[in-house]
Amino acid sequence: MSKTVVRPEIDLIEDGKLRLFIDTNILIDFAEGLDEKSCRRFLKLFIQKKFDNIELVTSDYVLWEFYGHFRDELYVRKLVKEHHYGYVSANKECSRRAKYRKATPRDMNVFGKAIQSKVKQFADSPVSIQRLIGKKLDGFSEIVEAILQRSKFSYKDTIVFVSALFTRSQMVVTCDEDFSTEGHLESVKEALESLNRSFNPEIQFLRPEDMSSVKKVETIYKNWFIKNNKKKQIGALTKVWPRANSIAIECTSGNFVEVGDYLCLVRFHQGAKFASKVIRVKDGNLRDYDTEKKIRRGGKITIRLATDCSIEPCMVGAMVFLHVG
């Protein structure tokens, strides 16, 4: 009895979407107009150009850190301007357990409104703030505790990292070098494995300069897509006959194409530009590559495309996936 091959499927909307989690320091530098670490250049690139397959997200936990940073900064400015503190002593005052002792409720309200205006800068940006608090987050606190028990992460960094997991992000963009050291990551992976959770333990860390140009962004996306979806690939596009409006596909690892399948062809060309095409294998249009006989299933095949569909020769070499129809 032959073994049934379970063919993997791809959903480009989900499997083709790279989700980048934006850390607090990126948002702070952007709001302050700083670009020493390419934070502003990175976000402005995504404001100026839409990358259809890349999504920027952050969480309410990051937003709270953003508020905390600017409340302290505005308080320090008040101490220097109104109470004649030096910057060093003002920062020491701000680090006291009973901070804001020289601020009135009216001052705190003024601070809050000033920070709200900074938050509004992100209203027209591609960064989506996902509100996690109040939602049912099964295992959130359990994961936070496991990481705190095994790593050197501060509790704030841990909460931010776990919120990245719960937004289903594949990469964290940060300029905090301590946050992304290899030793920390190993501890995090061990914590996730110990909990037997379904979260991706291979979550990566990027710096804003890694994605400060279109070419860099496209290259990172290409490398991520291939690595993330390689196991779902069922074959490759080997030939295109434009005049006959036909293509040839060679499957791998015992996979096959059959009548009724929806196939997704993905090709990176001109460096790392992304191109995709979804086709349907219609009855009577599938043939064996070597014998040219009509078949209903095969591993090395040719497909005659529908009249309203065509494939460019530049798509030769494309990865072939079984598409979720």
pLDDT digits (tens, 9 = 90+) for 289-314: 999 999 999 999 999 999 999 999 99
Percentages helix, strand, coil for the chain (3-state, rounded to 5) are: 45, 20, 35
pLDDT higher for 7 or 137?
7
Quick one: pLDDT at residue 61?
Answer: 93
Q: Give the pLDDT mean for 45-53.
A: 90
CB 12 within 8 A of CB 221: no
Q: At what angle do helices 60-82 and 87-94 cross, to 10 degrees?
A: 130
Q: Which of 144, 148, 160 lies closest to 64, judged by CA?
A: 160
Q: Which of 299, 305, 265, 300 lies closest to 285, judged by CA?
A: 305
Is residue 11 scored above 90 in pLDDT?
A: yes
At residue 2 the predicted structure's pLDDT band, cuts being 50, 70 and 90, is very low
Identify the helix (H) or strand (E) that includes residue 31. helix 24-32
Neighbours of 199 (CB within 10 A): 16
Name the segment(s) of the chain with CATH classification 3.40.50.1010. Answer: 12-212
For the chain, the farthest-separated pair of C-alpha atoms sits apart, in whole angstroms, at: 90
Mean pLDDT of the chain: 88
CB 172 within 8 A of CB 21: yes
CB 268 within 8 A of CB 224: no
Q: List the CATH code of the domain at 231-323.
A: 2.40.30.10
Is residue 187 scored above 90 in pLDDT?
A: no
Name the segment(s) of the chain with CATH classification 2.40.30.10. Answer: 231-323
CB 60 within 8 A of CB 159: no
Encode pLDDT of 95-120 as tens digits. Answer: 887 789 989 999 999 999 999 988 88
Encode pLDDT of 77-86 as tens digits. Answer: 999 999 999 9
Quick one: pLDDT at residue 184?
Answer: 61
Does domain 12-212 sit in CATH 3.50.50.60? Answer: no
